[in-house]
A and B are shown apart, each in its own frame.
Chain A
Amino acid sequence: SQQGEEDPQALSIQEGENATMNCSYKTSINNLQWYRQNSGRGLVHLILIRSNEREKHSGRLRVTLDTSKKSSSLLITASRAADTASYFCATDGNDYKLSFGAGTTVTVRA
């Protein structure tokens, strides 16, 4: 079963615009991670945020975490064509399993 659920399922934006996607999860976590997957390829780690952190930045990426609402958001600023991909949130549990959501497919139009 999937712990995290991303929203929206798909997103289409113009190059240069910002893209925001959300992740909601059900049980308490130690950390939450975001990954990117280009079509049919392996996943690439983007950022990890721990349960005691509220916000984290990495280049054009900004991740927030609200443990009281059991939700996280990923913001990609000034999007580029190369950002076209599927984005997944992944949450851990006390069982060391990393569970992935269904993903948000982002299309950046030139």
Chain B
Amino acid sequence: KAGVTQTPRYLIKTRGQQVTLSCSPISGHRSVSWYQQTPGQGLQFLFEYFSETQRNKGNFPGRFSGRQFSNSRSEMNVSTLELGDSALYLCASSLDRGSIGELFFGEGSRLTVL
């Protein structure tokens, strides 16, 4: 069974640009959660999508958005990038809602904003 796949793995952007990250969950998983990981703030919850609907959102500005498609694949978008957006963005999938059971994480997309 294939694991969670995130693309791209690494990317470099400049301030003001926008970026889209993609996440393919494990087959059959309906929930996709996104986390931002930085050395200073640790793992911060961004949002959760379940059956194509955003079910939860963390404390991030509106520049951070996401969506989930009918095949459960998810994308997150960050517009007007700032230096502080440099981070490892992790996607996790699960069978049911995010906190009920085990999360399966992808390897992450490492974003560097110059």
A102 contacts B110, CB within 8 Å? no
Distance (Å) between the CB of B46 and the closest chain A CB?
A: 10
Q: What residues of A have a CB within 8 angstroms of the CB of B108 in the complex?
A: 40-42
Given A97-B99, A98-B33, the answer on whether A42 and B4 have CB atoms closer than 8 Å is: yes
Number of CB contacts from chain A to chain B under 8 A = 63
In this complex, the interface size class of chain B, counting residues with CB under 8 Å from chain A, is: 20 to 34
B90 contacts A99, CB within 8 Å? no
Task: Report how far A10 CA is from B71 CA in the complex, Å.
Answer: 41
Sample 24 A-B pairs with CB under 8 A, ordered by A number. Answer: A1-B59, A31-B99, A33-B102, A35-B103, A40-B108, A41-B108, A42-B4, A42-B90, A42-B108, A45-B104, A88-B43, A93-B99, A96-B56, A96-B97, A96-B100, A97-B98, A98-B98, A98-B99, A98-B103, A99-B45, A100-B43, A101-B42, A102-B42, A103-B42
Interface residues of A (CB under 8 A from B): 1-2, 30-31, 33, 35, 40-45, 48, 88, 90, 92-93, 95-103
